[in-house]
Amino acid sequence: MTQAYDTDDKRWAAGRSRDRNADGQFLTCVKTTGVYCLPSCPGRPKRENVVYHPNAGAARAAGFRACKRCRPDE
């Protein structure tokens, strides 16, 4: 993860602004739906339901699956 996205606040801001520069830097994982998304995904989870993982392998190991909307594995 680069320093531009080194805190949850910075990652949250990147997701809220749909920052495509953040894609590939981390994944947003939504606890209530069990999916992981790119930061640029148009989905809008509540902050308290979000955790971050550095890559798809880590997100899958934590029990999340790929979002069908933004398709982070493609």
In this predicted structure, the answer to whether residue 3 has a pLDDT above a threshold of 90 is: no
Please give, one letter per residue, the 3-state secondary structure of the chain. Answer: CCHHHCCHHHHHHHHHCCCHHHECCEEEEECCCCEEECCCCCCCCCHHHEEEECCHHHHHHCCCEECCCCCCCC
Give me the catalytic one of 37, 41, 67, 70.
37
pLDDT tens digits for range 10-22 = 999 999 999 999 9
User: pLDDT tens for residues 32-66?
Assistant: 999 999 999 999 999 999 999 999 999 999 999 99
Asked if 37 is an active-site residue, the reply is: yes
pLDDT at 2: 57
